[in-house]
Amino acid sequence: MNKKVLITGASRGIGEAIARKLASEHYDLYLTCHHSEEKLHTLATWLENEYNVSVGAFLCDMSSNREVEKLFRHIPSLDVLINNAGISYFGLLSEMSPESWNQVINTNLSSLFFTSRKAIPLMLQKHRGKIINISSVWGSHGASMEVAYSASKGGVNGFTKALAKELAPSGIQVNAIACGLINTEMNLRLSEAERRSLIEDIPADRMGNTAEVAEMVYSVLSMPSYATGQIFTIDGGWL
């Protein structure tokens, strides 16, 4: 029987790449997105036909506990949770509204609480499970003009380490992957000059791609159970 994985924010970018990789490795998938429902269903159908796996596609605002609880009514069994859904805000903190702050924090950080509290009982039934949180190097180092995003990803790192200690006796691994500069739609706001400036500080001399992050996710899933509470970094040698 195939293992079951929930991937949030799976209609594009890193989430889509993870879905493609894990489907190719014979995982059954539960996929969510917030806005791109048609695109998500197209991806789900393609993955089912290409890899002969079961794929459920759900529209869900991961910043809403009520919507996450509705989502889990469709998930009777779960082996892996991948918290990938995330948004950014670029601008001066002094000009950021409380509503925008809450949206970033709830989507990037509170969503981990909403999903984990529902996933953990399903994993405890099997005495095993894996949770992977997609984080960012800015969670450790901070990015100018992205205070809320940096704060949320710093919270993801702390959440990961603390929950790993809580769940280790139950055989559930909790890890995070801190991404550096990855070629995603989130980074399209960068001008060509800004991209070149950032790449100059990356020893690999390029942006990463989403398929590489997906391979990293699969590698972490394949690690022995003693590997837990870790923040694995994929950043081209930047740090």
Checking if the pLDDT of 186 tops 80, the result is no
What pLDDT is stored for residue 192 in this prediction?
A: 82
Q: What does the pLDDT average to over 127-143?
A: 96
Residues in contact with 141: Cβ distance below 8 Å, sequence separation at least 6, in sequence order? 150, 239
**How would residue 198 be classed by pLDDT, with cut points 50, 70 and 90?**
confident
Question: Of 27, 30, 149, 218, which one is the catalytic site residue?
Answer: 149
What pLDDT is stored for residue 195 in this prediction?
A: 82
- Domain architecture of the chain: domains with CATH: 4-183+209-234 (3.40.50.720)
What pLDDT is stored for residue 194 in this prediction?
A: 80
- In this predicted model, what pLDDT tens digit does every residue of 60-75 receive, in sequence order? 999 999 999 999 999 9
Per the prediction, the chain carries an average pLDDT of 96
- In this predicted model, what pLDDT tens digit does every residue of 90-117 receive, in sequence order? 999 999 999 999 999 999 999 999 999 9
Checking if the pLDDT of 189 tops 80, the result is no
**How would residue 187 be classed by pLDDT, with cut points 50, 70 and 90?**
confident
Q: What is the 3-state secondary structure (H, E, C) of the chain?
A: CCCEEEECCCCCHHHHHHHHHHHHCCCEEEEEECCCHHHHHHHHHHHHHHHCCCEEEEECCCCCHHHHHHHHCCCCCCCEEEECCCCCCCCCHHHCCHHHHHHHHHHHHHHHHHHHHHHHHHHHCCCCEEEEEEEECHHHHCCCCCHHHHHHHHHHHHHHHHHHHHHHHHCEEEEEEEECCECCHHHHHCCHHHHHHHHHCCCCCCCECHHHHHHHHHHHHCCCCCCCCCEEEECCCCC
Checking if the pLDDT of 127 tops 90, the result is yes
- In this predicted model, what pLDDT tens digit does every residue of 159-185 receive, in sequence order? 999 999 999 999 999 999 999 999 987
51 is catalytic: no
What pLDDT is stored for residue 185 in this prediction?
A: 77
